[in-house]
Amino acid sequence: MVEDEVIAFQLEQLLTPAITTQENYYRQLGLRDRVLNLPLMVAAVLTLLWRDVAGVTELTRMLSREGFLWCRPLEVSQQAISQRFLTFPAQLFEKVFKDLLPHLQASWSRRNHRKIPQSVQFTLTKFEKIWIVDCSILEALFQKLESLKDAPQGKLAGKIGTVIDLKNMLPVEIWFCDNSRSADTKFEADILNLVTPNTLLLLDRGFYHFNFWLQLIAKNVNFITRLKKGAAIHVEQVFTDSFSLRDRLIRLGSGTNKTPFVTLRLVEVRSAKTWHSYLTSVLDPTVLPPYVVADLYRRRWRIEDAFNTVKRLLGLSYLWTGSINGVQLQIWGTWLFYAVLVDLGDAVADELSLPFDSISLEMIYRGLYHFYVAHQKGKATDPIKYFAAPENQDLGIVKRQRKPNMKLIVAPFPDQQRGTPEFFFQPSSQTPLTTASQP
């Protein structure tokens, strides 16, 4: 992909403050203000990702002939760049990434035309945050560095634990473990140190661990997860028991140290002939009604979309280096670019007054080339306006709607409240109306 000066300028405006902030830390690490410094390395990593550069050989040619982003043309050897990728401190990229996030969150807050899913709107009146937590294994399929051309390929390269904010789909935290075979539960201590009271977590079944659940509850942190098949339950109270919905207070566990007793709600929603079962530590249906529980957990899949974006679209499955530092550098660089892409997608959603879920990040990424062509012809100056324009909808920026939108049932006891004003979600006057499918 060729570089467009408008996109390059916007990236520079967005990232320069974060890079400048970390230059003091760069010097604290005892690093010299050499040619391949922090600004150049950030530009190099983003160029590899954004322009899908084949490897360091091509990157070196580009730097020599034309420069990239905020870097002017510069003669540097290919070996020097390869070695710099192996040794450049990954924590610098982590700090740039984490310094950028508050700015992206502030940008999200300033946009008020983009629609927010009904279940998210409702839940944020009860909880401060809704976070999705999951893990993913990294696959080292090939390397882009000349220094690693003879390294064996196909080796698993570790595991990342990731937390994403369901409200804005921006990353909250990323952890790396170099053992790809480690259980998801290895990240439990990190999660416990990160979460704050009045947070709702959407957990994958990899965190199906009673002691961990009890620790979260003790911190006033609630969660939703899936019930394991064959789990033995003891029903303590029935809230709803109908043809399409069961909502019950249950007890799990055997009372041992490994599986202590834990009291949860089991929400089961029927879809055709299949029952979908959800566990939540929110015991009161008036706080988190059953259909809201189901709709929120359905949105847990958004983190799988994020993994697919960073691994397949942005190339995190194709590792540049076999060194742990190099892998971490690529992880932080890729998630940084993902966050920038989410910000652009959200801006397009806001311009179109659509939910963020309706926007395809993949097609925005691929559409950057078409914006470049239009800009060169004098037909476009703003990527957000370009992607939102009716004549450019053939780019596939807006996903096709697969299911009709339906009102979300927020009644705590639906069978008893059918026909009442409290049955369906009613948005506040300050919040734009949105729709969500009933599971």
* Number of residues assigned to the chain: 439
Three state DSSP letters for the chain: CCCCHHHHHHHHHHHHHHHHHHHHHHHHCCCCCCCCCHHHHHHHHHHHHHCCCCCHHHHHHHHHHCCECCECCCCCCHHHHHHHHHHCCHHHHHHHHHHHHHHHHHHHHHCCCCCCCHHHHHHCCCCCEEEEEEEEEEECCCCCCHHHCCCCCCCEEEEEEEEEECCCCCEEEEEEECCCCCCHHHHHHHHHHHCCCCEEEEECHHHCCHHHHHHHHHCCCEEEEECCCCCCCEEEEEEEECCCEEEEEEEECCCCCCCCCEEEEEEEEEECCEEEEEEECCCCCCCCCHHHHHHHHHHHHHHHHHHHHHHHHCCCCCCCCCCHHHHHHHHHHHHHHHHHHHHHHHHHHHHHCCCHHHECHHHHHHHHHHHHHHHHCCCCCCHHHHHHCHHHHHHCCECCCCCCCCCCECCCCHHHHCCCCCCECCCCCCCCCCCCCCC
CA distance 406 to 301: 19
CA distance 165 to 170: 6
pLDDT for res 21: 82
Question: Out of 6-20, 394-408, 418-432, which region has the weakest mean confidence (pLDDT)?
Answer: 418-432
Of the two residues 197 and 416, the one the predictor is more confident about is 197
CB-based contact 97:88 (threshold 8 Å)? no
Binning pLDDT at 50, 70 and 90, where does residue 24 land?
confident
CB-based contact 75:36 (threshold 8 Å)? no
44: left (phi over 0), alpha (psi -120 to 50) or beta: alpha
CA distance 78 to 44: 13
Helical axes 361-376 vs 5-28, angle rounded to 10°: 120
Pairing state between β 222-226 and 199-203 = parallel
Comparing CA positions, the residue from 367, 46, 351, 302 lying closest to residue 168 is: 302
Task: Report whether pLDDT(126) > 90.
Answer: yes
79-92 per-position pLDDT tens digit = 888 888 888 888 88
Tokens found for residue 8 = 């390059």
379-422 per-position pLDDT tens digit = 999 999 999 999 999 999 999 877 767 889 999 999 888 888 88
In the chain, what percentage of residues exceed pLDDT 70?
90
Question: Out of 66-70, 170-174, 238-242, which region has the weakest mean confidence (pLDDT)?
Answer: 66-70
30: left (phi over 0), alpha (psi -120 to 50) or beta: left
**φ and ψ at residue 88, rounded to 5 degrees:** -65, 130
pLDDT for res 147: 46
**Mean pLDDT along residues 183-189:** 91
